[in-house]
Amino acid sequence: MNTPATVSIGLTNVSVHYRIAREKRRTVQEFVIHLAKGKKIEYQDFLALKELTLEVSDGETLGIIGHNGAGKSTLLKVIARVIRPQEGEVYAKGTIAPLIELGAGFDPELTGKENIYLNASILGFSRKETDSKFDSIVEFSELSEFIYSPLKSYSAGMVSRLGFSIATEVDPDILIIDEILAVGDEHFKRKCNQKILSFKARGTTMLLVSHDMDEIRKLCDRVLWLEQGALRMCGQADHVTDEYLKAV
């Protein structure tokens, strides 16, 4: 892929296919019985992304919108190198901090503190680096009184706080955020927004998936609208969100 030096993320004709069973089996036992009777399981291909081409410039904040199942999370996982597309090429420059799924990389049996070290190591921190950042992670998360409790006792909002606090200490080249700001109280949402704006001010490239159009307009330079895995529209944030709201 011949990508300009000023581009952080590039996709060329990227497609992602999933194979899904036509007939749903509710239990493993049903599945085994079905096979034992010699019945073939029929599959169909589902195109999660369809020949998507995209460039995101250095320091740009790109919003990604669309209905559930439009391919938004699949696109983020492709860019974050979580999944590999069957077709096309993907380019992403520098370090990536993905906040894609709440609790991804966490162990519910471990304490908040242990999960900080676990998740930080997945993101590439050394033990020494995590030691130096530990206090600021806990302070930002506002979870100091729960940090020695097992994660399984946390609410979804608390897990969200911890994940966001760890990922944003990485100081990545690319920050990927998938609906992470939809969980939690208004006070913490404002803190997250301020943190995102600070990343934006220092030139971090960001991808933001959200159903909150006000949030998208406030934080994003451009917006990509996906529909059934394909590009419906991409352009200036106000224009694309206005068109999207007319269509829903």
pLDDT of 44 over the 60 cut:
yes
C-beta separation of 194 from 140 below 8 A: no
Residue 208 has pLDDT above 70, yes or no: yes
Q: Give me the domains of the chain, ranges plus CATH numbers.
A: 7-247 (3.40.50.300)
* Residue 5: predicted pLDDT: 81
Separation CA 201–CA 173 (nearest Å): 13
pLDDT of residue 226: 97
- Report pLDDT for 169: 85
pLDDT in the model for residue 124 = 81
CA distances from 63 to 72, 157, 178, 181, 243 (A): 10, 22, 10, 13, 14
Checking if the pLDDT of 74 tops 90, the result is: yes
Residue 243 has pLDDT above 90, yes or no: yes
* C-alpha span between 224 and 219 (Å, rounded): 14
5, containing H or E segment: none
pLDDT band at 35 (very low <50, low <70, confident <90, very high): low
What's the sign of the alpha-carbon dihedral 150, 125, 74, 174?
A: positive
Q: Nearest Cα to 226, choosing from 10, 80, 30, 76?
A: 76
Cα dist from 3 to 12, 85, 96, 143, 196, whole Å: 10, 18, 18, 42, 26
Residue of 11 and 124 predicted with greater confidence: 11
Q: What is the pLDDT of residue 42?
A: 65
Residue labelled with tokens 């950042």: 133
pLDDT band with cut points at 50, 70 and 90 for residue 103: low
Q: What is the pLDDT of residue 192?
A: 85
Model confidence over 147-198: pLDDT tens digits?
999 999 999 889 888 988 988 887 889 999 887 666 567 888 888 888 888 9
pLDDT per position as a tens digit, 2-26 = 677 899 999 999 999 987 766 665 6
Q: Is the pLDDT of residue 90 over 90?
A: yes
Spatial distance between the Cα atoms of 234 and 53, rounded to a whole number of angstroms:
11
